[in-house]
A and B are shown apart, each in its own frame.
Chain A
């Protein structure tokens, strides 16, 4: 395979302007993990089924394995690393911990990003809405019930804090 010229990309990640070089074939997930050391986003299936690599791209949840690094020029990205504010965890993180909504933890970053995106839109999301919107995140450990309850609890905490 011929060496491909790297492309210079400028983007905003968790509020900070970032430059990186990447090959056109590299996914945003590869850039985040391998170039930028943001290893919170996980590689599960690498084909858009599992949601472990979920990040927000211009405010919408996407599978970063299905975004090319070169596509994010000028974009705003939020990863799981940007959810907590300085020393304190975000309510969705607190509730996952308190509710034991994780076991092996590989799916957790993706769930946190997607759940926070949902609760930012609708903190009172019903169980059905939560299950529908988190259908793109797979968890093979918990059976989902604890995750759904943690998201509901986080929604309550977020609206109480607001």
Chain B
């Protein structure tokens, strides 16, 4: 079924509970249903709902990104990809072109993979999830949205409507990078998103670093981020922030990489993404 309003979706979810599954880009859901990883009595296509499929940007409030807006729509948009560099970086490497045409940023978040490429970027950009449910709408910081591998903070009967990303000033910049052993089409061994805001004297006024694939959920690296504030950007400073970020990483060893390698990658990618984020902030 394909309802045309959020309230209709909420009532379908109320009626069918967890037996109803929401369909946006379908690139995770259909695969999971076919493989028996999830079951559903009802599949609800949410792409007939304007506020879920549209986005708007304004200088005061920033970006309101409907939950079903696709990866392609984000990175093909010249203004959005310039303002939200980390999100553009992420959306360009989720799957291949065919997947990016359909897969949504909101779906990447709801799917709650620890290795999801869009989530560290959203956390670094200090994004907020707008959630609708039987008791109306409420918001939740994206950094608190994922609660475990494949698990999110949505209660029964709730859906993600949109993602709010704060406005970006001219001296803000962000970047996302992941390590994969192939060139494309792979799942992050580690992914890091970084955001910085520069002061007029070139020092870092504010910063946020987020890590993917090194814990059960994507992580906000609070201490590493705070260590940058008030300092002049430098390789040494970024390396030190990388060391702090490594302390909160608790990766598993699996076929994609050992925990020692993943921890090492955190340091490397924190340095690289901070370097790019600062360059972007300086050249905006």
Chains A and B bind each other: yes
Per-position binary interface string of chain A over residues 121-156, scored 1 when its CB falls under 8 Å from any chain B CB and 0 otherwise: 000000000011111110000000000000000000
A43 at the interface (CB under 8 A from B): no
Chain B interface residue count, Cβ-Cβ cutoff 8 angstroms? 23
A78 at the interface (CB under 8 A from B): no
Selected A-B contacts with CB under 8 Å, 16 pairs: A24-B43, A48-B27, A48-B31, A48-B95, A54-B98, A61-B101, A66-B26, A66-B31, A68-B23, A68-B30, A71-B26, A71-B45, A133-B97, A134-B97, A135-B183, A136-B185
CB of B126 to closest CB in A, whole Å: 29
Are A60's CB and B183's CB within 8 A?
Answer: no
B184 at the interface (CB under 8 A from A): yes
CB of A67 to closest CB in B, whole Å: 7
Contacting residue for A27 out of B25, B30, B47, CB 8 A: B30
How would you classify the secondary structure of chain B's contact residues: helix, strand, loop or mixed? loop
Task: For the complex, give the distance between the alpha carbons of A61 and B97 in Å.
Answer: 7
Residues of B with C-beta under 8 A to A136: 95-99, 185
B196 at the interface (CB under 8 A from A): no
Interface-central residue, B25, B35, B43, B101, by most chain A CB under 10 Å: B101
Q: How many A-B residue pairs have CB under 8 A?
A: 73
Are B98's CB and A114's CB within 8 A?
Answer: yes
Residues of B with C-beta under 8 A to A49: 185
How would you classify the secondary structure of chain A's contact residues: helix, strand, loop or mixed? mixed
B115 at the interface (CB under 8 A from A): no
Are B31's CB and A131's CB within 8 A?
Answer: no
CB of B26 to closest CB in A, whole Å: 5
Per-position binary interface string of chain A over residues 59-90, scored 1 when its CB falls under 8 Å from any chain B CB and 0 otherwise: 01111011110110000000000000000000
User: Which residue in chain B gives the minimum CB-CB distance to A27?
Assistant: B30
Are B101's CB and A60's CB within 8 A?
Answer: yes
Are A135's CB and B185's CB within 8 A?
Answer: yes
Additional A-B contacts beyond A61-B97, A68-B26, A114-B97 (19; CB < 8 A): A27-B30, A48-B31, A48-B99, A60-B101, A62-B102, A63-B27, A63-B98, A66-B31, A66-B99, A67-B26, A68-B43, A68-B45, A71-B45, A71-B47, A133-B96, A135-B96, A136-B95, A136-B96, A137-B96
Residues of B with C-beta under 8 A to A46: 34
A91 at the interface (CB under 8 A from B): no
Chain A interface residue count, Cβ-Cβ cutoff 8 angstroms? 29
**Known contacts A67-B26, A71-B45, A135-B184, A57 near B95 by CB under 8 Å:** no
User: Which residue in chain A gives the minimum CB-CB distance to B184?
Assistant: A135
Per-position binary interface string of chain B over residues 147-181, scored 1 when its CB falls under 8 Å from any chain A CB and 0 otherwise: 00000000000000000000000000000000000
Residues of B with C-beta under 8 A to A24: 43
State the 7 A-B residue pairs at the shortest beta-carbon distance, nearest first.
A136-B96, A135-B184, A60-B101, A136-B98, A63-B98, A135-B96, A47-B31
A51 at the interface (CB under 8 A from B): yes
Interface-central residue, A24, A68, A71, A136, by most chain B CB under 10 Å: A136
CB of B218 to closest CB in A, whole Å: 22
Contacting residue for A47 out of B34, B43, B102, CB 8 A: B34
